[in-house]
Structure 1
Amino acid sequence: MMGRLFGRAARALFASVALGAVLGAVMTVGAAQAADPVHLKVGIRGGISEPLWEIVAKVGKTRGLLIEPVVLAGTLSPNEALNNGELQANAFQHIPFLRDQIKQRGYRLAVVANTYLSPIAFYSTKHKSLKDLPSGAKVGVPDDPSNESRALIVLRDEGLLSLRDGFDAFNETATLADIKDNPRKLEIVEAKSVVLARSYQDVDAAAVISSFGSQVGLNAARDGIAQEKRENNPNVNIIVVREQDKDAPWVKPLVESFQSPEVRAHIEKELAGILIPAF
């Protein structure tokens, strides 16, 4: 009798130990997974993107990601760094800009998500409306093809000039050579976006992207004298990865980390009139 009881106890003890070992192994694997998140370097531009991506990084931790926003300044290209594998993703550009970059440089990059619209607007200390611009007025526009095109489209929509017949904003960009009629003989000056944001007072009006304008206290909704239309706008900003990574398992949680309620709330509360959520 004692032997049978001892045998049962031994078997129960063995089962308990075995179960404990299994549970311990599971817990160890879970702890290892939690302690070893996927490390992603994401290229961004400085300014309003920095606090925004701090929120994305916090959300990413709950999805098994260690997101490291890398602020790239000056002439260093986030697309070049991504294409070379120095970054896993970037989030600083809109679709037309990427399209032009791929066409010019042959990058093998893919869009995986929309982020927000950073509208382009005209600002002036001399006039209250674009329609008030006099003949021969000096107008500043960005010197990169995609954003120059956006500025020219606003000027067209406001009736100050016309573009060549057949121009399609969704599939091509407009340059100064595409201006068909310029009845007010506007003097259009090309300059870097960062320069336009800091010197728009020096011309009659200048087109500034909101993300650059915010760095000098400009708000498109409050201060702009004209801005691009929001409906059917091809200039939505995006998250981009290398083509070979577009189906990687970390892409979906990265996208979810940006397209989260926390990020939307930050944009709508802290960046109203500067950025517009596109998700």
Structure 2
Amino acid sequence: MKKYLSSLLAGLLMSTLSGIAHAADPIPLKVGIRGGIGEQIWEVVTEVGKTHGLAIEPIVFAGTLSPNEALNNGEINANAFQHIPFFRDQIKQRGYNLAVVGNTYLSPLAFYSKQYKSLQDLPQNAKIGLPDDPSNGSRALIILQNEGLIKLRDGFDPYNETATFADIKENPRNLQFLEVKSVVLARSYQDVDAAAVISSFGSQVGLNAARDGIAQEKVENNPNVNIIVVREQDKDQPWVPLLVKSFQSDEVRAYIERELKGVIEPAF
């Protein structure tokens, strides 16, 4: 009987220790991001994630590779690279089964120019480089309207609609628009009179919206906040709020305000 009880107690002890060790195992998560700013911030998020029991592995997607496609296919667990209008357009175009679970930051889109100090200085028939994706192209058109260079149709709603060239009702300077991939615009903005560049790409070539931009979108009431996205089927998983909490932390806010001031703004 004593031998049996000793074996039983030993077994229970081993089971308990095994359970504790298992509970302590970090949850591995692959998160799709873009390079540059994304890599910098997610180094901090990864460290914070360890305190929440997460083993976050940022996966950098370059060029035309899509973090949304990879997420939808189950190749990664989450992504954090896009704003709401871009996400909305992707869902409409691709039919992805994805869900938004948290905000990260605003990466302001700004216009840059080697020749002119402001958009007001642009001449007639000026060549303007715009991002070739619908959502960021829309952001650029809204800036041009806010600066008085064009007028969009009455009733346009930036929260629920994407502006296109067809929505331009007035263009008194006859601006000539060229649609170019954002990664190319950042490196060749000097080849046109002015170009709209997303901060995440601009920072890779040393551009700072607050310092170098000749006009940028307003932060207040801006629908273009970047987000964390997961698959619809995973949105209620216990690791999701831990991932969001890891980003929306004091450590990440402090890093953004210290190292990336004028490039991005916290949106949490």
Common fold by TM > 0.5: yes
Identity over the aligned pairs, expressed in percent? Answer: 74
- For the pair 1:225 / 2:207, whether they are aligned, the reply is no
Equivalent position to 2:108, from 104, 119, 123: 119
Alignment of 1:71-220 (within 5 A): 71-220=60-209
Deviation readout 1:50-98 (Å, 9 max, x if unpaired)? 1211111111111111111111112211101101111110000000000
Residue 100 of structure 2 aligns to a residue whose secondary structure is: strand
Equivalent position to 2:19, from 11, 29, 38: 29
Deviation readout 1:192-236 (Å, 9 max, x if unpaired)? 111110011111111001111000000000010000011100000
**TM-score normalised over the length of structure 2:** 0.94
Deviation readout 1:179-201 (Å, 9 max, x if unpaired)? 11100001111101111100111
- Larger deviation: 267-276 or 47-56? 47-56
The separation in 1 between residues aligned to 2:18 and 2:92, in whole angstroms, is 49
The separation in 2 between residues aligned to 1:234 and 1:142, in whole angstroms, is 17
Q: How many residues align?
A: 264
Deviation readout 1:37-57 (Å, 9 max, x if unpaired)? 211110001111112111111
Residue 241 of structure 1 aligns to a residue whose secondary structure is: strand
Task: Give the deviation of 1:29 after TM superposition.
Answer: 2.4
C-alpha RMSD over aligned residues? 1.8
Residue 113 of structure 1 aligns to a residue whose secondary structure is: strand
The separation in 2 between residues aligned to 1:218 and 1:267, in whole angstroms, is 16
The separation in 2 between residues aligned to 1:134 and 1:74, in whole angstroms, is 33
- Larger deviation: 56-65 or 147-156? 56-65
Deviation readout 1:90-145 (Å, 9 max, x if unpaired)? 00000000000000011111000000000000011111110111111111110100
The runs of 5 or more residues in structure 2 that have no matched partner are none
Deviation readout 1:137-176 (Å, 9 max, x if unpaired)? 1111101000000000000000000011211100010011
AA in 2 matched with 1:75 = T
The runs of 5 or more residues in structure 1 that have no matched partner are 1-9
AA in 2 matched with 1:88 = N
Alignment of 1:37-48 (within 5 A): 37-48=26-37
1:247 is matched with which residue?
A: 236
Cα distance change of structure 1 residues 262 and 167 upon mapping to structure 2, 3 Å threshold: same
**TM-score normalised over the length of structure 1:** 0.90
Task: Give the deviation of 1:21 after TM superposition.
Answer: 8.2
The separation in 2 between residues aligned to 1:121 and 1:243, in whole angstroms, is 33
The separation in 2 between residues aligned to 1:48 and 1:265, in whole angstroms, is 15
| Bigger Rg, structure 1 or 2 | 1
